[in-house]
């Protein structure tokens, strides 16, 4: 199953690969060169298909828990001052996505979207300290009565040139369902209440919609 954001690119890539195969077969007579070019084209097609895949995830709905919004690796767990919306200290958990990860962004909690904003910006590498403030990004806040407010921020990286955000203010958010897409690698930051119980560790690999990032501290 492929994400709708990739349908046009997948079709264009498929047409390009087929046309290139025909040209190689007709105009290149050297067998080893034909084979090399065809293998390269196939690898390119496979990479495009892999990037835009949208596997089904089995989210266990739980208003007391925050699930990972994306696939990737946990690269930041720290207390920070969140400047844009809360304007107070929060726990930040950041997940970095490599180009081979699934790039669907999913709602980390259920509830209602109370804030959604797009920011144009730079394309610093995703792990740059200022990437969350200076890169192209979107900020979304979802609230439910049990957990409270969770802010997640999609951040473009050096390769990512387009962020897609489906979350609109007053939308109903269903935990684990699609809320956006980031093309070609980046990261997502979560900003959580200070008294939340973090359930992941640095460098841990997580799966969007399934891995539990945090839960209410009881």
Per the annotation, the verdict on 186 as an active-site residue is: yes
DSSP annotation of 171 reads P
Predicted local distance difference test score (pLDDT) of residue 115: 97
Are residues 68 and 206 in contact, defined by beta-carbon separation less than 8 angstroms?
yes
Phi, psi of 41 (to 5 degrees): -65, -40
Burial group, residue 153, by CB count within 10 angstroms (0-12, 13-18, 19+):
buried
CA dihedral of residues 112, 118, 122, 124 (deg, nearest 10): 10
> Is 65-215 a domain of CATH 2.70.70.10?
yes
Domain boundaries defined on the chain: 4-51, 65-215
Predicted local distance difference test score (pLDDT) of residue 134: 65
Predicted local distance difference test score (pLDDT) of residue 218: 66
Are residues 66 and 190 in contact, defined by beta-carbon separation less than 8 angstroms?
yes
pLDDT along the chain (218 residues), means of 10: 75 89 84 89 84 83 95 94 95 90 91 94 59 78 94 78 86 94 82 95 96 89
Predicted local distance difference test score (pLDDT) of residue 185: 63
Of the listed 116, 132, 179, 186, which one is catalytic? 186
Predicted local distance difference test score (pLDDT) of residue 132: 64
pTM of the model: 0.82
């Amino acid at each position: 199953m492929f994400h709708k954001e990739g349908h046009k690119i997948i079709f264009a890539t498929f047409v390009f690969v087929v046309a290139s195969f025909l040209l190689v077969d007709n105009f290149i007579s050297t067998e080893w060169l034909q084979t090399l070019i065809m293998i390269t084209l196939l690898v390119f097609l496979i990479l495009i298909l892999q990037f835009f895949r949208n596997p089904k995830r089995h989210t266990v709905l739980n208003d007391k828990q925050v699930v990972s919004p994306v696939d990737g690796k946990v690269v930041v767990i720290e207390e920070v001052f969140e400047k844009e919306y809360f304007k107070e200290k929060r726990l930040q958990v950041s997940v970095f996505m490599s180009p081979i990860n699934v790039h669907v962004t999913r709602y980390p909690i259920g509830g209602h979207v109370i804030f959604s904003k797009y920011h144009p910006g730079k394309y610093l590498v995703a792990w740059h300290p200022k990437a969350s403030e200076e890169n192209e990004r979107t900020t979304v806040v979802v609230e439910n009565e049990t957990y409270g407010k969770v802010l997640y921020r999609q951040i473009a990286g050096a390769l990512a040139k387009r962020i897609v955000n489906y979350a609109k203010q007053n939308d109903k958010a269903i935990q684990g369902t699609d809320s956006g897409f980031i093309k070609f690698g980046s990261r997502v930051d979560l900003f959580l209440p200070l008294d939340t119980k973090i359930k992941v560790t640095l460098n841990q690999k997580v799966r969007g919609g399934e891995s539990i990032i945090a839960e209410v501290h009881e």
